[in-house]
Each structure stands twice: as structure tokens, then as C-alpha cells.
Amino acid sequence: MDFEYKQKTNAERAKVEDLFDYEGCKVGRGTYGHVYKGKRKNSTDGREYALKQIEGTGISMSACREIALLRELKHPNVISLQKVFLSHTDRKVWLLFDYAEHDLWHIIKFHRSAKANKKQIDVPKNMVKSLLFQILDGIHYLHANWVLHRDLKPANILVMGEGEERGRVKIADMGFARLFNSPLKPLADLDPVVVTFWYRAPELLLGARHYTKAIDIWAIGCIFAELLTYEPIFHCRQEDIKTSNPYHHDQLDRIFNVMGFPQDKDWEDIRKMPEHGTLTKDFKRSNYVNCNLVKYMEKHKVKPDSKQFHLLQKLLTMDPTKRITSELAMKDPYFLEDPLPSQDVFEGKNIPYPKREFLTDDDDDKADTGASKAGGADQSSGHNQPPAKRVRVMPPSTVSSSMVSSDYQHIHNVQAQQALQFSSSNIQTSTSSTYTSRF
């Protein structure tokens, strides 16, 4: 390439380190990369940004996919990609997002500790309703555009702090799921990592071969229950995953202990599930006769005749074909009853949750042993996220053998390549069309 032209484009190219202050402000680290809280240099507006430095170098397949996907999406309740920076000196890819100070993992943890310490925290009256409505709104948008999340859990539900979008939910994916982009892909060749299946739908645990919208809806039901009780509804001992088998006996046992064992009439096609044979061999219906969601929620002071309980039941329906859709859930009587959901989930009240802590390199090392301070094992609560062994620091992340259908995956890979080759309005570079080959 023409040397002068290269010099000119190099000089013109905006560099993340020239535009943002972020040194010493790492707020997250995981297999997906590092996330920093940053502010624009030479700006007095005080606006905060999240800068994600993608793990590895160059435009990897997953970087490609993330950029291609996010640049197509625009919804107030879905994380929004502002810009991409390609750093030519170290071949790093940086993604710029608006900064979300909170997430449901930290919010729930805060309330659980307060409850354990008998500390009274005032929660805005309709906060749970507003959170749920906005989660459904974001997921409805994704589902309408045939994007499945595949790893919904409290750590992936961000909430904006003070600022223009105060108290607004942003659905994100902080990472990991896409490392394993098929539920059938063997995990056996990986280091054993401790993972949670708390948000996994029963059909996945019984060997369902494809991710579906209904699987995301089950996870939303789990999150809703956790917001109402501050306890993960399907809490289960975490396992060291050494096998690709989707069947997890203890996790299914926990689901049946809360929900009861499904009647044949409630889930007719359960017989067609790949792991149905194992299920009938391992489980006895009679062990769960006294188990049901009414009892479980009553124990947690949620009335079975309330609208919130009825919606929870529709979200946590065992048969995926009978589970409510996001569209119908948003029209549920729960959301029509006073108090109505609001845009600012904090309703203008004081936000009691602490800001994210900055991580040090020391914390990075500790992440390898699960002793991180930012979202690592929460020893006090007894509801730890997995002691992260090379899994995550903050927020905690789980391994989820996730996927969309393989067709979708393929389309996305092709689109991702094309998008990066022929784009792009928001990729901060002057010679974008040649980046994939040269970077």
C-alpha cells in the first residue's frame, strides 16, 4: 500500500487511548475480555462509557459476530454499541457502550445481604414490575428480530445509574455463552469449569437440541422469582462440568422440588425428549407429590391469588409449547394493575446500590481461583455464583452451552464477515473495507 496513504490514515484514525480516560478503571474481566469505565478526554459533560477490550487480537469470529449483531440492534432495553475502535499498534478491538452502573446480580446480592442482616431497605413499590416489563420489552424486540439470548441471568441484566437513562434496563451478554455455540458441542475437552444451570429450562436439561424463544422466557421466569424472593428459585449445587451431556440430575431434581413432577397431560411431548429414558429411570413421581409453585412462593410471602404469581406461573410453564411469549406477557393483567411499570425502575428515588468497584491486576489473578471481589464467590450468602476458575470476575458468568439454530449461526457468520468488509458507519476507521484481511 502507498506509504503516504498509510501514514495519512494512521494519523487520522481515532485512537481509544487518545479519546478516553480509562486507565485504572477496570470494572470487569472475563473470557470475553476486559471492561473499563471511561470518560471522554476534553469533555466536561461527565458522561461515562464502558469500553470493552475484546480478548485476543484481530477481528476474531466472535468479535465479528458481536459487532455485526449489535450494530443491527436498536432498542432502549438492549445494550447499544456506540463505536468500534481498531487499535493497530497492538491489534486490539475495542467496543464502546454507554456505561451501566448496576446489574441485577449485584442488586439482588445487595438485598439478600440486607435481609440476612435484618437491614431495612426501601424498594420502590413497582421496581420489580418495571424491571420485568423492561426485560420483556427488550427480549420481545430481540425475539421479533430472531435473536435468541441463550444466557439470560441476573448478571446480564444491566440497569443504568444516574444520568439521562436513569433506572433503565439494558439487556447485555457479558460473555462466555458464545464460546460454546452449540448445546451439543462437547465441553469435555475444556478445563473443568464450575457452572450454574439455575436459569436453564427443563427441556434443555432433557436434551433439547435447539435453543428457542421459550428457553429465554423460562430464564426470565427464574429472574422474576429471584427478584420477588432474593433467592435463586432453582438454586442447585454447582457442578464441575466434564461432560457434554445436557442432562443434569440435580438441577432437574431442584426444579421438580419447586414445581412438582410434570403430569403427562401438562407436558405431552416430554416423552419425545432425548433424555426421557434417563428421566424415567432416575426419578419417581411420588417423591414430588407435595411440591408446587404455590407452596414455594407462599413460603416467600408471595400470594398465589396475586397477578404477579399468575404471570410467574405462565413464565415458568414446564411445557415449552405452552409457555407464554414475551409479547403476551407484556399484555398481562399484572402490568395493567396499579402501580404501573415506570421507565426509571428507581422511580426518582435515591439509588442505594454501591457503584462498581475497580479491579486491580491482583483481582485478575484471584479470578483464576474464584476469590475476586467484584462478583466473585459470595461466601456470605450461601448462593455463590460458581467459584470462577477462569470463568469470570465481574459480573459472574456461567458456562452455558448455548446456541441459536445452526442456520442462524451460519447466516450470522456470513453476515458478520460481510458487515465488517463492506461497512461501516460506526466503525472508527478510515479504510474499513480492507480491515478483515489486513488486521
Quick note: the x/- pattern for ligand 0SQ over 145-164, rule CB under 6 A, is --x-x---------------
Cα(279)–Cα(276) distance, rounded to whole angstroms? 5
Nearer Cβ to ligand 0SQ (98/239): 98
Cα(401)–Cα(176) distance, rounded to whole angstroms? 9
Contact 234, 222 (CB under 8 A): yes
Contact 162, 411 (CB under 8 A): no
Nearer Cβ to ligand 0SQ (216/231): 216
79 forms part of the interface with ligand 0SQ (CB under 6 A): yes
- Smallest gap, in angstroms, from Cβ of residue 325 to ligand 0SQ? 18
Nearer Cβ to ligand 0SQ (53/372): 53
- Smallest gap, in angstroms, from Cβ of residue 343 to ligand 0SQ? 19
- Smallest gap, in angstroms, from Cβ of residue 390 to ligand 0SQ? 17
137 forms part of the interface with ligand 0SQ (CB under 6 A): no
Residue 80, Cβ density class (10 Å: 0-12 exposed, 13-18 middle, ≥19 buried): middle
Cross-strand bridge partners of residue 49: 38, 98
Nearer Cβ to ligand 0SQ (215/293): 215
Say whether 344 is catalytic. Answer: no
- Which amino acid, 10? N
Contact 80, 97 (CB under 8 A): yes
- Which amino acid, 317? T
78 forms part of the interface with ligand 0SQ (CB under 6 A): yes
Nearer Cβ to ligand 0SQ (156/229): 156
- Smallest gap, in angstroms, from Cβ of residue 132 to ligand 0SQ? 17
- Of these residues, 98, 103, 137, 151, which one is catalytic? 151
- Smallest gap, in angstroms, from Cβ of residue 86 to ligand 0SQ? 17
- Smallest gap, in angstroms, from Cβ of residue 72 to ligand 0SQ? 9
Residues 6 or more apart whose CB falls under 8 angstroms from that of 389 comprise 191, 192, 193, 194, 368, 369, 370
100 forms part of the interface with ligand 0SQ (CB under 6 A): no
Cα(27)–Cα(110) distance, rounded to whole angstroms? 18
Nearer Cβ to ligand 0SQ (56/277): 56
How many residues form the binding site for ligand 0SQ (CB under 6 A)?
A: 15
220 forms part of the interface with ligand 0SQ (CB under 6 A): no
- Smallest gap, in angstroms, from Cβ of residue 382 to ligand 0SQ? 29
Quick note: the x/- pattern for ligand 0SQ over 172-191, rule CB under 6 A, is xx----x-------------
Cα(68)–Cα(435) distance, rounded to whole angstroms? 14
Among the listed residues 357, 347, 397, the one whose alpha carbon sits nearest the alpha carbon of residue 377: 397
Contact 39, 20 (CB under 8 A): yes
CB atoms within 10 A of CB 227: 22
Among the listed residues 70, 82, 94, the one whose alpha carbon sits nearest the alpha carbon of residue 439: 94
Nearer Cβ to ligand 0SQ (73/291): 73
Secondary structure (H, E, C), 240-281: EECCCCCCCHHHHHHHHHHHCCCCCCCCHHHHHCCCHHHHHH
Cα(70)–Cα(359) distance, rounded to whole angstroms? 26
Quick note: the x/- pattern for ligand 0SQ over 36-75, rule CB under 6 A, is ----------------x---------x--xx--xx--x--
What are the grid coordinates assigned to 6, written together?
Answer: 498509510
Catalytic residues: 151
Residues that bind ligand 0SQ (CB under 6 A): 52, 62, 65-66, 69-70, 73, 78-79, 147, 149, 171-173, 178
